[in-house]
Amino acid sequence: MRIKAFRKAHFNAAHRLYRKDWSDEKNLQIFGKCSNPKYHGHNYELVVGVIGDIDPETGYLIDLKILKDYIKTEVEDYMDHKNLNEEVLEFKDLNPTVENIAVVIWNRLRKKIASKFEIEVTLYETPRNFVTYKGE
Ligand code: NI
């Protein structure tokens, strides 16, 4: 039986969306307030979905305590209260848009969660703006 389990998490982080090779004026035109050179923060809401088969022995899909721990080490400890551009390696040369942050989170979790599970990452940058990435 295929089933999907979810775990929610939350982190706060600062970012700036810009391209180094563009002028401040062009960055403002394309990225709006998110290009503020002084950075700004968002309250990110994360939903991690894990898809697989129920283990007939335990009745579990995945031990949600283990999923919780992976999210803590790979996302919360790594990104919470950080300046994504300056402090998170993956964004050294990658614009920390909600799209790219979701892909980075997926890649980090993919390395930890057993390959028999599919995973999907939904990330809210604001209550109304969010993306989902499934590794496709
Ligand atoms: Ni922003």
Per-residue pLDDT of 80-114, as tens digits, reads 999 999 999 999 999 999 999 999 999 999 999 99
**pTM for the predicted model, two decimal places:** 0.95
Q: Which residues pair with 131 in a beta bridge?
A: 123
Q: Using a CB cutoff of 5 Å, list residues around ligand 1, an ion.
A: 34
User: 34 an active-site residue?
Assistant: yes
How many Å apart are CA 51 and CA 5, to the nearest integer?
7
User: 81 an active-site residue?
Assistant: yes
Q: Are strands 118-126 and 40-53 parallel, antiparallel or unpaired?
A: antiparallel
Marked catalytic residue, from 34, 42, 74, 120: 34
Q: Dihedral of CA 13/14/19/25: which sign? A: positive
How many Å is the Cα radius of gyration of the chain?
17
Marked catalytic residue, from 10, 40, 81, 86: 81
pLDDT at 16: 96
